[in-house]
Amino acid sequence: MPISSCVVWKATAGMLRRSWPSLAMPRWIWAVGLALLLLAGVVLVLGWVSSGFRGVEGWIGYLGGAAVGAAILWAGWWVLRSEDLPAWLGGLLVLTTLLRLGLGVFWFVALPELGYDSPAELKGYVMADAFKRDQAAIELALSEKPLLRAFQGYRGADQYGGMLFLSALIYRYLGGGIPIAARPLLMVWIVACFSSLAVLYTWSFSRRAWGAPVANLAACGLALYPEAVLLGSSQMREAFTISLVATAFYGLLRYGQERSWQGLALVLGALLFSLLFSPPMAAMLLVMLALAAMTFGFRVGLEGKRVFYQPRFWVILSFLALLAFAGVWLTWGHFAPQGMSNPLELVSWWIRKSFDWQAHLSEQASGWLQKIFRNSPPWLNLPFLLGYGVLRPFLPAALADVTAVPVWRWVAIWRAAGWTLLLPFLVYAPLRAFRRVDRQNPQDINPRMLSLIVWLGILAASFRSGGDQWDNPRYRAMFACLQISLAAWVWVSRRRLSDPWLRRVLIGMGCLLAWFMPWYLLRYLHFAWPVGDLFKTIGLGVLSTVLVWLWDWARMAERRDE
């Protein structure tokens, strides 16, 4: 059907051009006209929703926001003009933006009716943190206070102040004519536009790293990845940091391959903006960029010198490190305890605070977790919570939980399905990379270190959030660009050169999910199931996996003998 529709469309367009030569205009005119029509549609729809579906009187208030969002998309495309971006990628960018905006409008309209009666949901917010920060931003925007006050006195709403400042800036200067209750839709549009840029920079990063097939798959995967879509439809800082991480790694790779200052400027700009939203995240991004630069193994120009052998590289890296430390020092008071001035002491405090948070979660855990902690040695609690955090959101738990209202149950299943599909490829990626199944092109990114970087981000998110079902996935999603690019590399490289271990990893994941499903049904529905012990359930999953692996190994050995 899509192919026949395309043929009909092309034939109709050709007939129209022959009948009316004036229609044979340059392609860019058609693109601009279509973009203006889409923007007009967005403005009218937002005005209609903000008026309570009674008219479009508030449409004029969204004109400025529509212009800013369009400028963000155009600027993101213009920066990558040297990458020879395919036309379909522009269509994907538009669809990605509309998907996030449409979902944000759905939350705004549906959650007051379908969600719980929490203050955030009654106002149409899918994230409680976004609600708290947005209320403070609207209050600051309507007051006569300078917007820089966002970095002072609003720590309860925004620990670092950057997202609060940006929201208040948009509400003050672009929110005129929009009802106060509907102004969050303006921010949803801006967030949707900026978060969609991650698709462009993920494609560009993956194409330079491994070629067009990986890039195409990675761009489409990120456009549809549930956690990225969810964050891009809400007023969350992670929607910005996902795009900033993609930009930083693309800039690093571009600088390494071309020695272009444009690539270095992208790295610097991404770090500066990350510092505005979250200094700890900017510091972690800097560490990951340094690891990547030292171990990717890409070559520079025709000289064949590795990047980290050049003194200029270390000068630039030192400058970026000093810049990051300067930014942390300027924002020190927003996240460091009063009286603390030593950076090493701050790191130690952060680790202790994370351990304390883990202990708090242990105390507040559900009955089955408390039972596990009581019957296991204390040193096992942290590794268990780390592994638990890596698995969350867990698909069997989402499927079996019938206590949630329908809209939240479907959101939980949607998020868990996305992570469950991605996780096996991330588990398999280091196995393939370190076993050297593929012969690496000297110009390619080294997937071994990228695998380590991805898992460093996953474990850091799990450690910091203690396996929380909301904080843990959104911290982890900041590095969705790298995760999905690595998964796309696994899929494409596996199609080029088969390896049974991907199949075995998928089988192992399937066995664990199959054994956990009745265990969760026993918890939520009192399903008649004889195995109620968690460790026995894990043991059955592992044993089933080993048996299937042995059968697969024997089957392949028999084929080789034939």
pLDDT digits (tens, 9 = 90+) for 97-116: 999 999 999 999 999 999 99
Backbone φ and ψ for 79, nearest 5 degrees, come out as: -60, -30
Domain annotation covers residue 157: no
How much is the mean pLDDT over the chain? 83
C-alpha–C-alpha distance, residues 93 and 101, integer Å: 12
Domain annotation covers residue 539: yes
Tokens of 349: 């405090």
Quote the pLDDT of residue 227.
Answer: 97
C-alpha–C-alpha distance, residues 489 and 214, integer Å: 6
Question: What is the number of domains present in the chain?
Answer: 1
CA distances from 237 to 281, 309, 357, 505 (A): 11, 36, 22, 34
Is residue 476 within 8 A of residue 419, CB to CB? The reply is no
Q: With cut-offs at 50, 70 and 90, classify the pLDDT of residue 444.
A: low
pLDDT at position 357 over 80: no
Is residue 438 within 8 A of residue 520, CB to CB? The reply is no
Number of neighbours of residue 294 by Cβ within 10 angstroms: 15
Domain annotation covers residue 416: yes
SS percent in the chain: helix, strand, coil, step 5: 80, 0, 20
Domain annotation covers residue 405: yes
Domain annotation covers residue 392: yes
* Exposed/middle/buried for residue 123 (C-beta within 10 Å: 0-12, 13-18, 19+): middle
Place of tokens 């971006």: 85
Tokens of 9: 């469309």
Tokens of 129: 């943190």
Tokens of 210: 């491994």
Quote the pLDDT of residue 535.
Answer: 86
Quote the pLDDT of residue 19.
Answer: 47
Closest-CA residue to 443 (of 288, 306, 246)? 306
Is residue 393 within 8 A of residue 412, CB to CB? The reply is yes
pLDDT at position 277 over 70: yes
Quote the pLDDT of residue 334.
Answer: 55
pLDDT at position 3 over 80: no
Quote the pLDDT of residue 9.
Answer: 44
* Three-class SS state of 306: strand
Quote the pLDDT of residue 355.
Answer: 60
**What is the residue range of 467's domain?**
357-561
CA angle 222, 452, 202 (to 5 degrees): 25
User: What is the per-residue pLDDT across 131-166, written as a single tens digit (0 to 9) for each?
Assistant: 999 999 999 999 989 998 988 878 888 888 899 999
Place of tokens 């299943």: 413
Indicate the range of 6-20, 89-103, 321-335 predicted with least confidence. Answer: 6-20
Domain annotation covers residue 195: no
Domain annotation covers residue 345: no
pLDDT at position 15 over 90: no
Domain annotation covers residue 61: no
The pTM of this model reads 0.87
| Segment 356-374 mean pLDDT | 64
**Of 175-179, 315-319, 363-367, where does the model show the most confidence?**
175-179
Quote the pLDDT of residue 182.
Answer: 86
More confident residue, 289 or 59: 289
pLDDT at position 169 over 90: yes
